[in-house]
Each structure stands twice: as C-alpha cells, then as structure tokens.
A and B are shown apart, each in its own frame.
Chain A
Amino acid sequence: MGNDQHRSETTLRVNGKPHTLTVDHRRVLLDLLREDLDLTGAKKGCDHGQCGACTVLVDGRRVNSCLLFAVALDGCEVTTVEGLTGDAEEPHPLQRAFLERDAFQCGYCTPGQICSAAGMLAEAAAGHPSHVTDPATPPGTPVTLDRMEIRERLSGNLCRCGAYPRIAEAVEDVIE
C-alpha cells in the first residue's frame, strides 16, 4: 500500500470537523473526500477539471476538487454539499431553491452546481468581475448578479440533463 516516503500526514477541517490522515501524495481532494471520508456528495464527472461536478469550497472559495492534491491543503477548511448548512437540519436556501425550481434531474451535477453557486455569490459580493461584468465597474464593487452574470459564472458546471434555466432561476430566488 504505497511507499511511506510518498505519503504525508495532513490535517484538514472538513465541514467543521478536523481530520488527520496519512495521504498518498497522488491523492486529490475529491478522492480524499469520497474514498477516505465517505463524503460522496462531491461527484466525479471527469476527474480533469472539465465538468465542475466535484466543486467544493476551500477556505470559502469554489474549487474543482479533482485538481487539488490533498497533501497541499494542510490546514485548509473544506466545505462540501453535505456541510453547507453547518449543523442546521433545514436545507441551505440554495438547496431549497433547487428543489422548488426542479433545477436538476439525474442529480449528479447538482452538488457541484450548488457549491459553485454558493462560491459565486461570495465572489460577486466581494466584487470579483466576470467576463460579462461591465469593465467600467470600479474594482471591488459588489457585482449585481443578473441572469447573464449567473449564466457566465456557472458555466464551469456542466449539466447534461439540461437543467440550466431552472438552475439560473433557483440562484436568482436566493439572491432576491
């Protein structure tokens, strides 16, 4: 089971709980979540950063967890779809909106869409521009997320079932 010189002890906080693991240096965050912690909400759609199904939040920012070596995340705070609400029983407003809008079908891209949307809301609030943001906007100004902005900023999350219009509506519901 691997050579010890290719494994390192790594500590991450995942959904608020610390986990210390001896991690194969080749292991990406996605596989650590799914295989070591049995948090299978983050999905493997391509394993190459092409589909967004594995999107989670690392220190509050959305990432493709299939592209990050777990060993490089020592000390990081990871939030997955299972931990979006903290200890609350009720679903996160995005989860509720996805249910109400029927913003998914097969469900496989859904956790990634929801985590991506959560990260996007924070990015827009922090004034991160997108490709469709008016270039004249002063840096750091919170960006108003209209339909164009939502579509542009969620384009890294593929949905083969074609739930895009409903996803955009669900995100708008949460913004309002």
Chain B
Amino acid sequence: MTGTTGAPAERREGREKVGGTARYAAEFPLPGRVQAWPVPAAVARGRVTGIDTAAALAVPGVLDVLTHENAPRLAEPDDATLAVLQDPRVPHRGWFVALVVAETLEAARAGAAAVRVGYEAGKHDVVLTPSHPGLYVPEEASAGQPGVREQGDPDGAFENSAVRVDVAYRVPPLHNHPMEPHASTARWEDGRLLVHTSSQGAHTVRAVLAGLFGLPEERIVVTAEHVGGGFGSKGTPRPDVVLAAMAARHTGRPVTVAFPRRYLPAVVGHRAPTLHRLRLGADADGRLSCLTHEVTTHTSRVKEFVEHAAVPARIMYAAPHRRTLHRVAALDVPSPSWMRAPGEAPGMYALESAVDELAGELGMDPIELRVRNEPDVEPDSGRPFSSRHLAECLREGARRFGWDRRDPRPRSRRDGPLLLGTGVAAATYPVLVGPSTAEARALSDGTFAVRTDATDIGTGARTVLAQVAADALEVPLERVRIEVGSTELPSAPLAGGSSGTASWGWAVHEACARLTHRLAGHTGPLPLQGIDAHADTTGTADAESAYARHAFGAHFAEVAVDTASGEVRVARLLGVYAAGRILNARTARSQFVGGMTMGLGMALTEGSTMDAAFGDFVESDLASYHVPVHADVAEIEAHWLDEDDSRLNPMGSKGIGEIGIVGTAAAIGNAVHHATGVRFRELPLTPDRVLAGLPARGTS
C-alpha cells in the first residue's frame, strides 16, 4: 500500500465541472439533432379514446407526434413503467400519452400544448389510509426483503411490559429531484443505437434497451459520463431514454428528450408515503422485551414497489419478541421507486423517534437506552455482525457535540421567542456489493489506464477508483488514468445502494493487483500496446457472507423553534459514522454532509401531497417542493471512526452515500420535542404544523 486511499484527493473531473465544460446527457449537439416534449395524461385513471395531432403537426418546426397508435413497438419490459406509448391505458395522471418531436425546444413545447387528447375517465382512488380495503401484506418488500418477520409473542410481551410506547408516525411522499432533470440523447446509425443518458448505470440501461428494442447488446452504446445527481431516481432506466430511442428511430434524427421539471414526480419514481405504527415494550431498566414496527404504504397499478421501512427494526435493537411488517395498497398513483436510503430513511425516522419517546417514558438518557439495547448478533437473522460500532459513534458524537451539558428536561432552554433543544438518533445502512469487471493496463510511458463502467453521479467515483488503483499498483496517483461511464468499458453494476465503490473498487483492485504481479515477472521494455490484466469478481463479490454487514452512525441536532412563527431552524447537525475504511476523506465528507442535508429537508421542508380530486402531486416543481437552500443549512459536521473490518472487500470499505440521510430527521424531530415539550409525529415540521401544535401563547 502506498497510502493513496484515504487521502483527500481532489476530484478528477473538477476542472470541467467548475469550468462548465463537463457535458451532461442533453448537451450533445449532434448534427441534425431535434428535441422532444412529452404530453402527460390529464386524468388519473382511464384510457385514451382519441388523439388529435393536427394542430400540433401544424406548428412550424414540429416533425411528428408519437402516440400509442404510431410509436415503435417494444418488447414487454420487466419494469412496466417503461412500456411507454404502447397502449391507450392511463394508469395515473402524468403518465405520458404522446411525444412531440420538433426542430427546436420552443416548437416541441408549443406542439405538445396543441395535442388534443380524448379520455374515458374512470373513478380513481389515490388516498392511502391505514384501513384502506386494498391493503395486503406483500411477500417481499423492496430490496428483496421479506414482507413480514415475526419472533416470539410480540403482542403478549407488549401487554406485559412495564413501560410501553405505542405511537404512529407519518412520512409524506418525497421526491428525489436531482438538479439535472432526467434526459437522454439518442441516435441510430447503421442499425446501432447510440445513447447519452443521465443514469446511475450505463450497462443496466443497455441491457434494458436491448430487451425493449430486440437488439443484441453489442449494437448499443450507452454513455453516462457526467450525471447531475440521481439519488435513486436514475438507478434503472426511466422513460426518457426509451422515448428518445423510439423518437430517434421514428424520425431518423438524433433526438434529445429532457423532461420538464414538473413532470418528474409522476414518471421517475418517488418515495412512497409511509404510515408507521410502533410498539415498544421495556422493563423499568430500559431493556426492550418487544419491538413491533408496522408500515403501511402505497404502490401504483403499474408495478409493485414496497418501501421497506420496517427493515431497520430487524437490525437495530435486541428484543426477544418482535414483528416487522409491511402492508401495501395499489392505488391510481404514480409508481414509487428508489430514493436515497429507501426503507432506512423513513423507517429510522419512525423507529428512532419512538426510541426517544421510550427514553422519555423511562426518564433515561436516549444514548444510554440505545447502548443498553445493543444486540450481540443481528436480531432478526441471528448472524454475527462483521463490525458494529454504533455505541462508539453515539459516545464520540456525544463528546464532540457536548451532550453532557444538556438539561434533559423538555422545554428547559429559552432565548426570547425561541425554544432551544437538542436531539440524537442512530443511523444504519446495509453493506451491499455486486460483481463487477475492470481492466488495468500498464503503458510504455509509465502511466496506467484503468477502465470500468462505473458511474460518477457526484460521488467522486473516478477519483476514489484511481486511488484504489494507485494503491494496488503501488504507484503515485498521478500515474493512474481512469475511464468510467460508458458501455464501451468493462461491465460494472449501477451506482446504487451505496454499493458502487465497493463493487467497482473490488474489481479495480483485483485487476491492478494482477497487473502488478504480471509486471513483476516482466523484463525489458513494455510492448507498444502495454501489458494488461482483467478482473471479474463474479462469485467472490456476490458470495454469501456469514456475517451481517452494516454501517452505523449517530446524528445529533440542535434546533431553535420560534414560538411566534412556528419556524424550526437547525443551528447544528453533527454526524459520526462507522463505515469501514474511508477511501477519500474529501469526497466522503461531502457525501455524508449531503445526506444529512437531505435529511434536514426531510425533517423540515420536504413533503408532497397527493391531491385526492385530481390524483397528482400538488408539489411537483421546485417552487412548491422545498428542498433545503443555503439559508436552511448552518453548521453541519461529519466525522468518522477508524473502523477495521476485514470481512467486507479488499479496501475494507462500507458504503457511505446514503447513511447520512438515515436518522437525521429523527434527530431533528427529537430536538424539536426537547425544545418544545411537544411530540410532532408527522413530517415535515413546517411552521404551520408546529405553530398549531405548540401550547397557546400565554399558557407556557
């Protein structure tokens, strides 16, 4: 090891990004390229009875209008949200029913506005309630997690517990809203399909396109060189790339499809709303005897996606009697999908809030309560942890945050109209890893070329993989060149589930280690083409582990609640993580802080509403769906422990892209309770909600 990993190396594509020369998917001005604009359905359930395109086609510059009547036929996709313009069915409002292709953006937009669509509308059902008659327990929630797990007698144990908490929480629908809206540019050349797309994984996109268009994968090239964020919503292909390829085939021109921002919530997935009920029973010393987490959520009629929010309760705390259960109802709503820490983010909001409530009932410090319930093995599976340093994160965070100076009594600090408080919550995220391939080549000029189809969605993948390579090659970082983001490179899995660096890095490490070995046995100058080595981690990276592998962390928040306006402001956020070996201190910190910032949004500003009458999300653009802005974010610190875990991968790393959002909203909510003495159980904690919940002025 030359010690390159861990160093705060600067982002390799940084100059291009700050200079404005990094090109994203909609920014390839190919000769003859045209623009396309989708037409969303204006009913929440029903079918298209007729589409009048005459007025649209009369708009100067409009080339064609694709509808289910004339669009290229696709093979049936595994992901039914990609079966666009194939039939007249409208499964939810916002589903695309036409696509206008035109010479310019202005003509495409005007053309889309001129398309007249007739519908036969049915009665829609879009409102999730805890007693919805359509609710069922799915066999599997998302991420392949069992829909229900039960051990012991949770109901009986709860009845017999000395101290009980039985509470319900609500997390609203949330939207990923990466800064770059979903976009793709496609062209067909000599029977080959060439695509630039904003995706978290080019090889995945290629495989899906091959199936949809009945093409061998060798005839498709997908590049995703720079991607303006994804947060799960670009994990697998979305309709933009399918529509671009269809339109390019239909018109014979290169086509760019860039979705308008306000169309995104209906077609790229959202975090489904979750209704939580938790029952925690403990003895007087705070030892849990039972833990029940039941989650109710929705999916669409297009596909089943079940936010696996009860899953963290299978991992976090020792309790002999437990039930974790999901219920889902298929409604006439847009299809939910992955959003940063799916399952863990809403699940840990509810669980960590309930634990804080239990600490209050017990009169016990919430850190002590958590430490007291640390399990020896993973509670649900009985497997030993490969490493678990949650207690250490809590203690280190408490030290850095100044937790010992806290007066535990709620509503004990006041500064004029402001009530001040602090809160804590734990975080967890699983260690995921998949098989990948990579290639490393030693060149005669003394440099090394490392190639793998990793995707840098802002994580710093290029940079950290170069560091992994430099270490394995035992050469300085400057001598390593790295190529990512294209299906012309060795195949690799998508950037998702915080698994990218582990998966790609494992293959890069192995290819470079092999190359080092080959070079050691080589004498004389290198041949012109250099010497290379390949790696494929199939069978090793995806081998079943005997260990439960998770990252852990602790979040601390300090808030000020304005009793006049109801506004909550976060003065300080602090996170401490145990996530294996940190491979780049600079980019890792940015990811942790970024996750915490999204968690701050989840706590205070972000929330979407399903309109019962119209069947769409009311807050669909960035003026109404409030992501945190500069003024919302004061001091955010991220720290980590040196965690040495040899049961992960050759780098010893755990994923870090998602854990920052897990538990952050609970820490903030717990701080609001500490500040006000009021427990708010529905996110986000907007001023209207907080003001209505505070005791009437004058009575405090």
Contact = CB atoms under 8 A, between A and B. Distances in A.
Interface of A: 1-3, 24, 26-27, 31, 34-35, 38-48, 50-51, 53, 80-82, 91, 95, 98-100, 102, 104-111, 114, 150-152, 154-168
Interface stretch (B70-78, B235-243, B593-601): B593-601
Contacts of A38: 29
Contact of B104 (A24, A50, A155, A159): A24
Interface of B is mostly: loop
B179 interface: yes
A162 B601 CA distance: 10
B105 A31 contact: yes
B152 interface: no
Of residues B27, B228, B630, which shows the largest number of chain A Cβ atoms within 10 Å of its Cβ? B630
Contacts of A154: 630
10 contacts: A41-B19, A43-B179, A46-B622, A48-B261, A50-B261, A105-B459, A162-B633, A164-B597, A165-B636, A168-B630
A160 B231 CA distance: 9
A91 B283 CA distance: 63
A161 B629 contact: no
B99 to A, nearest CB: 18
Given A102-B11, A110-B18, A161 B630 contact: no
Of residues A50, A82, A165, which shows the largest number of chain B Cβ atoms within 10 Å of its Cβ? A165
A1 B104 contact: yes
Contacts of A99: 10-11, 14-15, 18
B593 to A, nearest CB: 6
A68 to B, nearest CB: 14
Contacts, number: 186
B688 to A, nearest CB: 21
A164 B630 CA distance: 6
Nearest to B636: A165
A107 B258 contact: no
Given A35-B105, A107-B17, 9 more contacts: A1-B60, A46-B181, A104-B17, A106-B457, A108-B178, A108-B180, A151-B633, A151-B634, A156-B629
Contact of A165 (B258, B459, B591, B593): B593
Of residues B20, B24, B26, B458, which shows the largest number of chain A Cβ atoms within 10 Å of its Cβ? B20
Contacts of B597: 162, 164
Nearest to B457: A106
Contact of A155 (B228, B623, B631): B631
A24 B106 contact: yes
Contacts of B228: 43, 106-108
A151 B597 CA distance: 14
B258 A106 contact: no
Nearest to B226: A107
Nearest to A164: B633
Contacts of A111: 18, 20
Interface stretch (B287-295, B527-535, B582-590, B665-673): B582-590
The 7 closest A-B pairs by CB, nearest first: A41-B20, A162-B597, A108-B228, A106-B458, A107-B17, A162-B594, A105-B458
B229 interface: yes
A44 B231 CA distance: 18
A166 B597 CA distance: 12
Contacts of A151: 630-631, 633-634
Contacts of A168: 630
A169 to B, nearest CB: 11
A152 B595 contact: no
Contacts of A166: 590, 593
B261 A46 contact: yes
Nearest to A165: B636
Contact of B15 (A43, A91, A106): A91
Interface in B157-181: 177-181
A165 B634 CA distance: 7
A124 to B, nearest CB: 15
Contact of B596 (A41, A47, A108, A162): A162
A5 to B, nearest CB: 11
B629 A155 contact: yes
Nearest to B261: A46
Contacts of B589: 102
A110 B623 CA distance: 20
B229 A160 contact: yes
A47 B260 contact: yes
